[in-house]
Structure 1
Amino acid sequence: MTITKTLMGAAATVALATGMAAAEPGLIIDLGGKFDKSFNESAYNGAQRWVEETGGSYAETELANEAQREQTMRRMAERGADPIVVLGFANASTLDVVAPDYPETRFVIIDEVVDQPNVKSITFAEPEGSYLVGVMAAMASETGTVSFIGGMDVPLISKFACGYAQGVKATNPDAEVIVNMTGTTPTAWNDPVKGAELTRSQIGQGSDVVFAAAGGTGIGVLQAAADADILAIGVDSNQNGLHPGKVLTSMVKRVDNAVFDVFTAAEDGTLETGHEVLGLDNEGVAVAMDENNAELVSPEMKAAVEEAQAKIASGGIEVHDYLTDNSCPAY
C-alpha cells in the first residue's frame, strides 16, 4: 500500500526504524525508455522479477525529457514511494538537491554517487568487464583493428572505452582501437541512425569488431555490424540474441540484480545507504556466454577470459579506471 507524504508521520518513522515496509518502492526510468534493450530495460527486468517473486508492487515513471528530472523525483517522493530508485548518472545533481528535502525517504541512484545520508549509490566496475570483452575482441579480429562507439561523451562512457582498449592492447599490442562518441547531449543515447553511421565509418577504417556502450543508439551499431558481416559487442543487457551469430558477446552490467536487491532489502528492512560497487568479484559485471554466441567463442578465447578474470580478481592485472585521472594508458 502506498502511503502518501502527508500521512508519513510518527507511525511511518517507527516503521522505517524497525525495518517494516512503509511504502511500495518506486523506479524512475531514464531517457531512452524502459525497452531500450540495454541499461533501462535491465533495470525494468529486475523490478519485474521482484514483482513475480514477491507479489509486490512498485510505482514507475519514465522520463520523457530533461526538464522532468526534478519534478518526477519530487512527485514520487510526495506519493510516498520508498525507496525511490533513480536510473542514470544524469540524475545525480538533481538528486543531490531533492534528497535533503525528503529526509524520511530513501533514494537509490544507479551509475553515480550522491553523498547524502538518505541516498544509496550503486556503481559498477565497468573497466573490468570492458577489459574482458577487449580480450575477446582482439582474439576475434582478423584485421587487427577494433572499435568502440559510446553514447554521450561523458567520463562514465570513457570508463568503458578505456577498459576495452586495455584488454585489446594486452592481448595484441599492435592492435588499433578506434574510439568515437555519438554526441554531447542526452539525445546521443537514442540515435540508432547515428550509431549505424559511425559503425560504417569505423568499418571503412578497418574495424571488424565494434563494442557499443551507447544505450538505444547501440541498437543501430549492432544492426550495421550485422549487415556488414562484422562482429559487434553489446552492453548492459545480454544483447547476444539480437543478432545471433553476429554478436561476439555482451558486457553485462547487472542493473537488474541491483534493482531486485534494493527492492528486496527494502522489503526485508535491511536496505543501507552509502556507496556500493558491483564488479567481477560480486557478479556485478560479466561477459555473456550463451547459445547465441557459442560458435563465435573458441576454447582459447574462453580460457583467456577466465585467466584475465582471475588475475583481475587477484590483483595480477590492474585495470586502469579512466575516472581516476581522466586519461587512458591504452591510447
Structure 2
Amino acid sequence: MFTRRSIIASFAAATLMVASSAAAFAADPLKVGILIPGSKSDKGWMESGYNGLVAAQEEYGDKIEVQMIENINYADMEQAITQLASGNDLVIGVGGQTQAAMVKIAPRFPDVKFSIVGGNAGVEVPNVAGYDVKQAEIAFVAGAAAAMLSENGAVSYVGGMEIPSIVNAGKEFGNGARYINPDIKYFENYTGDFDDVAKSKEATLAAIAQGADIHYHILNLGLRGMEQAATEKGTHIIGSYTDYCGSDPLYLAYSITGVGFQVEYAIDEAVKGTWEAGYKPFGLAMGPEASGIAVCDPAPGMMDKLNAIMEDIESGKITVLEG
C-alpha cells in the first residue's frame, strides 16, 4: 500500500534523480576540434591561433574538451576535418585554406558547428561561420609603418599561396607604403607555399639586393627564411599576427591580425550558446585585439599618424581591398 509519506518520498527521490541528471548533462564539456594546418610554433598565423586556443582553455578549464590536429598536408584536409567533426560539437579551421574542405564536409554533420578563422563572404552553409580577419586593412597600416621605418626608401612583402586574401594584403601593404612616401620602392613576391623556408629566403634576398630594408610577410614556417635573409644582410621585419615587441631586435613592429582572438571568439560563442553561422567581418572595427599595429620603438608622432590612418580606414576615408 502506498502511503502519503511514501508517495512524497518517492517523488522527492525522482526529483533528485532528474536534478542530478540535469546537472550531469549541464556539466558535459563542449567538445572542440581544431585544425591547425601548419606548425603551432611558426611565429605567425598558426601560432597565433594556437595561442587563442590556449587562452580559451585557461578561461574555461574543464568546460571544454579539445582535440587538435596540427601540421597536415593540403591533400589530407578533408580527412582531418571529417575526423574532428565525428567527435566534436565545434570544429575550428585555422586558416582560409581550410575553407573549401570545411564547406564540403559540414553538410554531412548538420549538428556540428564549423568556424573558419580566415573565412570569407562566400560561406553560405547553415552550420558554418566564416570569420574574416580583413588582413588587407592592417597590411595597409603595416605598409605605412614600413615606409616610416625604412632608411633606404625601399620595402618588400613575401606572401605564401597566391590567393585573393594574400595578394590583396600585399597590394595594400604597397599602397600603405606609398601613402607615406609616393616614391618608395616596393617589391612583392609569392612563394606558393606558406612553409617553404628556402623560397622565402630567396625572395627576401632578391628584394634586399634591390635596396629593401624593411620586410613584411604572410607566411607560416616560411618566415624562418625571411629571418635568415634579414639577419645575414642587416635588414628588419614587421611581423604579423601577434605583438612580440622586445623579444627579437630583428623585428621593428608587428601587425596584429587577431587570429587567436577569433579562435577564442568561436569557443566563447559556442560555450555561451550564442554561436551563429554566416559571414562575420573582424578587422579594425572589432578593436585592437582583432586588428592593430605595434611599433616597438616609435619615433615621436609616428603612432599618432598610424592611429589616424586606422581611423580613416574605419571611416571609409581610406578604402582598401577585401581580404
Q: Residues 189-234 of structure 1, C-alpha deviation per residue, up to 9 Å, x if partnerless?
A: 1122222222111111111111111111112213321332112111
* 2:177–2:184 contact (8 Å) kept in structure 1: yes
Pick from 66, 79, 95 the counterpart of residue 71 of structure 1: 79
Q: Between 264-273 and 20-29, report the one with greater CA deviation.
A: 20-29
User: Does 2:217 match 1:212?
Assistant: yes
Structure 2 unpaired stretches of 5+: 1-21
Root-mean-square deviation over aligned CA pairs: 2.0
1:25 aligns with 2:26: no
Change (3 A) 1:198 1:240: farther
TM-score (norm 1): 0.83
Rounded Cα–Cα distance in structure 1 between residues aligned with 2:53 and 2:205: 36
Give the structure 1 partner of residue 306 of structure 2: 305
Q: What secondary structure, in the 3-state scheme, does the structure 1 residue paired with 2:160 have?
A: strand
Q: Are 1:44 and 2:50 an aligned pair? A: yes
Matched, 1:85 2:89: no
Please say if 1:266 is aligned against 2:259.
no
Q: Specify the code of the residue in structure 2 equivalent to 1:24.
A: K
Distance in 2, Cα, partners of 1:282 & 1:36: 25
Contact 2:39-2:220 at 8 Å conserved across structures: no
Distance apart, 1:21 and its partner CA: 6.5
> Quick check: 312-321 or 206-215, which moved more?
312-321
CA deviation after TM superposition for structure 1 residue 20, in Å: 9.0
Match status 1:172 vs 2:181: yes
Q: SS state of the match for residue 41, structure 1?
A: helix
1:71 corresponds to which letter in structure 2?
Q
Which deviates more, 86-95 or 312-321? 312-321
**Aligned counterpart, 2:6:** none
% same residue:
30
1:1-331 to 2 correspondences below 5 Å:
23-30=30-37, 32-56=38-62, 57-79=65-87, 81-113=88-120, 114-183=123-192, 188-241=193-246, 243-244=248-249, 246-283=250-287, 284-289=290-295, 293-294=296-297, 297-321=298-322
Residue identity opposite 1:111 in structure 2: G
TM-score (norm 2): 0.85
Paired amino acid for 1:68: D
Deviations 1:125-152 (A, max 9, x none): 2111111111111111122211111112
| Long gaps (5+) in structure 1 | 1-14, 324-331
Indicate the structure (1 or 2) with the bigger Cα radius of gyration: 2
**1:240 Cα deviation (Å)?**
4.0
Residue pair 2:30, 2:271 contacting (<8 A) in 1 also: no
Matched residues, number: 294
